[in-house]
Amino acid sequence: MCGIVGYVGPKKSMTTLIDGLKRLEYRGYDSAGISIMNGKGVETRKAKGKIAALEQAISAHPLDGNIGIAHTRWATHGPPNEMNAHPHTDCTGTISVVHNGIIENYGPLRAMLQKTGHTFTSETDTEVLAHLIEAAFDGNLEEAVIDALALVEGTYGIAVISAKDPDKIVAARKGSPLLIGLGDQPGEYYVASDVAAILQHTRQVVYLDDGEMAILTRTGYEVCDLDAQTVKKGVSRIDWDLDQIEKGGFDHFMLKEIFEQPTTIQNTMRGRLVPDEGFSKLGGLNLTKEELQQLDQIVITACGTSWHSALIGEMMIEEHARIRCEVEYASEFRYRNPIITDKTLCVVISQSGETADTLAAMREAKRRGAKTLGLVNVVGSTIAREDDGGIYLHAGPEIGVASTKAFTSQVIALALLTLKLGRLRNMSVVKGREVAQALEELPGQIQSMLDRAAEVEKIAEEFVTATNFLYLGRGYNFPVALEGALKLKEISYIHAEGYPAAEMKHGPIALIDENMPVVFIAPHDSVFDKVVSNVQEVKARGGRVIALTSRDEPALHGKIDYEFRIPQTIDMLNPVLAAIPLQLLAYYIAAKRGLNVDQPRNLAKSVTVE
């Protein structure tokens, strides 16, 4: 899995393909490759490592042609090396395939193909596709692809070219995102797994849905299903600019995106907040007032950072809307037998809108009769197209693999949903106005902390060589402890754990000594006094305390080694403010360790396989 880009048109394809791969680097990858139709056949170059290594391979043996496909791989089957890199070819070298996803039955398929004389050169599941298409080929590439995919179990987003049926690219998807780009020049078309790969060339795209296939030639494009029946598709326009996926003078995308949060949070709220009435307008829910009032359960399902925002949403909804709410890991949800009724609202959260486990959980909830609501950042994503209603985050493209601005926008979207549900039920106008006012103040409060980022950088300098961290919080701040620990793990490779502060004495306290940094999220909220006692327990054992506080507290004097003040707000919004210095702490530690902050090892931006 990772990134796909393809081109057919009048221009030389190599530069377009390489530039597209570079736009996809943020997704994380360990090898890259390219196949081009050179007028005589298919030529392929592959390399382990970064795209620069692929460029060196091409420089040594140049490629030339107007049709091609390219790929960045994140290893699933077989280690990262040139042999396992995509594209993969058939026995004759005339068919070339790039693939995102996992072929679950590749073992039996490979054995079947080997028995009929096919020779494999890689350890990947993807190579099976090339040989299946070869075995089915009878002069028409799209027919061969249809026949091959009929035998496949699993997920895929693929692009295929063949020297025996030249001048076309065939692409198909099931469970892995894929889109078509309509070029500005006549006879120019693109295929990509992510719009970032082609945005510099076109804003007009057609999103493929599961079970659909596209045939791209210089004379046009056609979309059909896997029974070869034509499907009519609408054209979408991308409304964000290329400079939004540039660093804009920052050293890393992650730092840029941290500093964008005053704007992105404002964008999430724009047009949705009615401060005078203490209400929120969410027109995309597609649920009537009566349907919202009849809900008796909300299930929120997500993965990773989105799961942490879901935990915060659970507390908001139960406290202020008084609706029973459960948070489920999307990866576990569909393998249980969850209690879902027609009065259940299933909220699914995914930055990309393509997370495989979250998408599958949403489909399972719909199958069981629940209404589904998607909180996604990517317009036109699969979750956005398949949910019953949704709240777009409007955070703009997030390039850094470790999510920052999407997390805070998710929490804001959940706060807006809470405000709407609460006011429809038992939240007073006065309370609604208090929440709305606190939401309005957040962008300025965040900017005030970003203006003091140097304070966090100075703290980070003290912990560059640390090997373990503990993050502790209570109430609304426990999920922030989880998120802070995750950020540090993701980009600095330092082991870190988040716990409810009270749980420290039920195990983690055994780890605390003078070498263990402990981060307390301790704003002056309803559980502040309880957190103070936990701080005392850490100091009594020689631990080094880093505390996020919101005002001077005599009870903490002499008990904190490092302190960062966050602005005062209502309890439910403390996580938004506390997240900012924790993101900065993780960033500065990783950057000072000389690590690749935007592309941490082994991670992908959009996890489109189970």
Ramachandran region of residue 528, left (φ > 0), alpha (ψ -120 to 50) or beta?
alpha
In a domain, 609, yes or no: no
| Residues catalogued as catalytic | 2, 605
Whole-angstrom distance, CA of residue 182 vs CA of residue 203: 8
* 409 and 265 belong to one structural domain: yes
pLDDT digits (tens, 9 = 90+) for 370-416: 999 999 998 888 899 999 999 999 888 888 888 999 999 999 999 99
Q: What is the 3-state secondary structure (H, E, C) of 232-280?
A: CCCCEECCCCHHHHCCCCCCCHHHHHHHCHHHHHHHHHCCCEEHHHCEE
Kindly report the backbone phi and psi dihedral angles of residue 400, in degrees, each rounded to the nearest multiple of 5, phi listed first. Answer: -60, 135
The count of structural domains within the chain is 3
148 shares its domain with 92:
yes
- 602 lies in a domain? no
pLDDT value at position 177?
86
Residue 97 lies in a domain: yes
CB 71 within 8 A of CB 123: no
CA distance 509 to 397: 40
Give tens-digit pLDDT for 350-376. Answer: 998 888 899 999 999 999 999 999 999
- Going by C-alpha positions, the residue among 107, 12, 27 that lies closest to residue 62 is 12
Summarize pLDDT for 555-572 with one digit per residue, the tens.
778 788 899 999 999 999
Instruction: Indicate if 118 and 158 belong to the same structural domain.
Output: yes
512 and 393 together in one domain: no
Q: Which of 388, 422, 451 is the last residue of a domain?
A: 451
Confidence of residue 510 (pLDDT cuts 50, 70, 90): low
Residue 17: pLDDT above 70? yes
The dihedral through the CA atoms of 199, 201, 202, 206 has a sign that is negative
| Vertex 573 angle, CA 567 and 579, to 5° | 70
Domain shared by 224 and 268, yes or no: no
29-83 pLDDT, tens digit each: 889 999 999 888 999 999 998 899 999 999 999 899 999 999 998 777 788 899 9
Residues in the chain: 610
Whether residue 288 has pLDDT greater than 70: yes
Query: At which of 203, 238, 273 does a domain end?
Result: 238
Enclosing domain of residue 104? 2-238
For residue 32, what is the DSSP state? E
pLDDT 10s digits, 579-590 = 999 999 999 999
- Here the CATH number for the domain that contains residue 529 is 3.40.50.10490
> How far is C-alpha 152 from the geometric centre of its chain's CA atoms?
26
Q: What is the 3-state secondary structure (H, E, C) of 98-116?
A: EEECCECCHHHHHHHHHHC
CA-based nearest residue to 493, from 521, 456, 465? 465
- Please give the Cα distance from 576 to 31 (Å, whole number): 36
Same domain, 88 and 227: yes
Query: Are residues 338 and 440 both part of a single domain?
Result: yes
pLDDT over threshold 70, residue 28: no
Please report which confidence band the pLDDT of residue 223 belongs to, taking 50, 70 and 90 as the band edges: very high
Quick one: 89 and 204 in the same domain? yes
Collapsing DSSP to helix, strand or coil, 123 comes out as coil
Tell whether 224 is covered by a domain.
yes
Residue 183 carries which side chain, given as an amino acid letter? Answer: G
Helix (H) or strand (E) holding 442: helix 429-450
pTM of the model: 0.76
Contact 126, 97 (CB under 8 A): yes
| Same domain? 497 vs 461 | yes
Dist CA 324 CA 317 (whole Å) = 8
User: Which residues in 349-365 are b (16+ Cβ under 10 Å) and which e?
Assistant: bbbbbbbbbbbbbbbbb
Residues 226 and 253 placed together within one structural domain of the fold: no
Whether 314 and 351 share a structural domain: yes
| Final residue before a domain boundary, out of 451, 470, 486 | 451
Same domain (yes/no): 111, 252:
no
Asked whether residue 491 is assigned to any structural domain, the reply reads yes
